[in-house]
Amino acid sequence: MLLDHHSDGPAAIRTQFGAIFVSLELSRSTWLVTSLSPGKSEKMSKHSVKAGDIAELLKLFAELKHKAQARTGESYPIITIQEAGLDGFWLHRSLQQEGIESHVVDPASIATPRRRRRAKTDRLDGETLLRALLAYKRGEPRVCAMVVAPSPEEEDHRRICRERRTLIAEQIEHVNRIKGLLFAQGISDYAPLRRDRRARLEALRTGDGRALLPHLKAQVSRELDRLELLLDQIKAVEAAQDALLVEAGKPADEKKGAPAPVTMLLALKGMGANFAGVLWSEAFYRHFANRRQVAAYAGLAATPWRSGGIEREQGVSKAGNPRLRTTMVQLAWLWVRHQEQSALTQWFKAHSQRGRKRAIVALARKLLVALWKYVTAGVVIEGAVMKSVA
């Protein structure tokens, strides 16, 4: 049986931290505010605020500070925590502008009960967030993972690469839809991405020798309209991406002429503008303390399962940035192709006999760490070939 031990003495948050701890459980309609204030025998209070009403939230914070001061005769700061989610980081930035210490936590990093049926409500989640914040401020190791909030400029820079990926996916959908419509009529050699796609559409004949019927031709024509719009948008996004990379490629230190990370990445053979843009905007804009943090951020960290005599590997965690992880696997294949003499490629060839899929994911992790060392510390990847300068 689980028991909560209550005490009438000074609360730990009063004697140890001297602060009012607040968790924010955010939803589209209501924000649930769970607070723990000094002088209340560590009893949690809950309040509801209309979603998006920052003025009402700050008013509630002022009331919490006033009540805590009335009970204890001292003034306490407020420390907040919220989960990373749909609301992004605007609330986090707003609280920081008001001088409030704010934290954004990765919800998947918080420990939860392992019962077969686990109760989950906004009230329980708010209390869990509050306990995680207390443990984090106490300095407990690995109690949770706080998210490093990007600046508005950093967040805006990575929109271009993400939008391009979205547009490419939509382009593939329309191309496949057009090919599927025509394949059902016995036509398998039509290429929607060719420049003469309109002229070839008029000359198409079905497998049994008929011309395309009016409704089918109209449907394919409308699909081509959407496809051509996507092609124009992709060109515009790629032009903006090139301009951004040129700006980012300027020397980071004008006095010493130190090359910028983008310039260093583009100097490697097999590294194009799209890969350099993703690596720069998704990973290398932020600081990592060690190689383990780099691999974990990309979701490429190993996840062993060992207990007693049981020992097996579950694969990569997939808990990090999915765009970066996908890009690194694609880049790993290109690295093997264009950097045949590098030590990483030789490692892949030696280990790919046991399974190419597992080996390429491991190579992606090694390559990401090597690129991180390359752009941050100037450690040249062993055996890597640079592009020839005309």
What is the distance between the alpha carbons of residues 18 and 78, in angstroms, rounded to a whole number?
Answer: 9
Mean pLDDT lowest among 17-31, 36-50, 204-218, 339-353: 36-50
Does CATH place domain 12-149 in 3.40.50.300?
no
Q: Which residues pair with 103 in a beta bridge?
A: 81
What tokens were used for 327?
A: 């890009």
Q: pLDDT band at residue 53, thresholds of 50, 70 and 90?
A: very high
What is the distance between the alpha carbons of residues 193 and 179, in angstroms, rounded to a whole number?
Answer: 11
Q: pLDDT band at residue 152, thresholds of 50, 70 and 90?
A: very high
| Domains of the chain by residue range | 12-149, 155-248, 261-377
Q: Which residues pair with 343 in a beta bridge?
A: none
What is the distance between the alpha carbons of residues 281 and 263, in angstroms, rounded to a whole number?
Answer: 13
pLDDT in tens, 302-324: 888 888 889 888 888 888 899 99
What is the distance between the alpha carbons of residues 44 and 30, in angstroms, rounded to a whole number?
Answer: 19
pLDDT in tens, 158-179: 899 999 999 999 999 999 999 9
Burial of 255 (0-12, 13-18, 19+ CB in 10 A): exposed
Q: Alpha carbon of 369 to those of 271, 296, 363, 380: distances in Å?
A: 16, 11, 10, 12
Q: What is the pLDDT of residue 137?
A: 92
What residues have CB less than 8 Å from 347, skipping those under 6 apart? Answer: 363, 366
Indicate the SS3 state at residue 24.
strand
Q: Is the pLDDT of residue 43 over 90?
A: no
Q: Which residue from 61, 68, 82, 78 is spatially nearest to 126, judged by alpha carbons?
A: 82
Regarding pTM above 0.85, the answer is no
